[in-house]
């Protein structure tokens, strides 16, 4: 499959063109070979994956400590790490093959000084983070269950969701109430002409 070309305006989001281009190369080659990304995704690697993840960047505070849960191929964790050189990112991934992919990518991208991999489940990680990110990991009620201890009460969860984000939020009302947290849905565009992305941001009411 032909790889999608970098859309015009993308470099406004990434200071390091070499790093983000190298990451796309890793995804569309080793990512395909290792079964982390289907070959058909190469045709929309920028629009569906890189830019979709890049929308999170503006919601992360300066010098934040970030955890990306269920990191998989590094979407969105490695994307935001490349876009923001002021943040430390922990990629949490339970599957050995995916964790190994992430470790190799971190080394090749020169990010080892501020990006690390924890191979394990989110609920077993005994740390607090300023921001927790998630993409295509679980429906919001379940996601809250295994991430709440990572970011509450002082941090935030920013999860990439689809058009039905409002349905997930509604189904999470009881869980949010129990956690004394609130959720807001934000529609964003990485570029002026790009497809919309929906973010669900969860924060504590006690902050």
Read off the pLDDT of residues 19-41 as tens digits, 9 standing for 90 and up: 999 999 999 999 999 999 999 99
CA atoms within 13 A on the CB side of 71: 34
Domains of the chain by residue range: 10-204
Report d(CA 47, CA 89) in Å as an integer. 23
Mean per-residue pLDDT, 171-178: 96
**Vertex 34, ends 72 and 39: CA angle to 5°?**
90
67 in Cβ contact with 133 (< 8 Å): yes
Q: Known binding site: residues?
A: 70, 75, 122-123, 135
Q: How far apart are CA 107 and CA 104, in angstroms?
A: 5
DSSP state of 172: T
Q: pTM score, two decimals? A: 0.94
CA gyration radius, the chain? 16
Residue set of the binding site for S-adenosyl-L-methionine: 70, 75, 122-123, 135
Give the mean pLDDT of 89-114. 98
**1.20.1090.10, 3.40.50.150, 3.30.70.360, 3.40.50.620: CATH of 10-204:** 3.40.50.150
Mean pLDDT calculated for residue range 77-101: 97
């Amino acid at each position: 499959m032909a790889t999608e070309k970098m859309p015009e305006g993308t470099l406004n989001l990434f200071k390091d063109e070499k790093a983000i281009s190298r990451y796309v190369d890793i995804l569309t080659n080793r990512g395909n070979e290792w079964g982390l990304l289907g070959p058909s995704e190469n045709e929309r690697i920028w629009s569906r994956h890189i830019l979709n993840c890049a929308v999170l960047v503006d919601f992360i505070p300066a010098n934040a400590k970030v955890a990306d849960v269920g990191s998989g191929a590094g979407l969105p964790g490695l994307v935001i790490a490349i876009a923001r050189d002021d943040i430390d990112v922990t990629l949490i991934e339970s599957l050995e093959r995916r964790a190994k992919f992430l470790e190799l990518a971190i080394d090749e991208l020169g990010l080892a000084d501020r990006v690390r991999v924890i191979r394990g489940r989110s609920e077993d990680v005994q740390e607090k983070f300023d921001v927790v990110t998630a993409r295509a990991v679980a429906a919001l009620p379940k996601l809250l269950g295994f991430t709440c201890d990572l970011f509450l009460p002082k941090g935030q969860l920013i999860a990439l969701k689809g058009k039905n984000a409002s349905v997930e939020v509604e189904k999470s009302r009881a869980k949010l109430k129990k956690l004394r947290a609130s959720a807001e849905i934000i529609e964003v565009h990485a570029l002026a002409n790009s497809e919309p992305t929906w973010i669900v941001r969860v924060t504590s009411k006690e902050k």
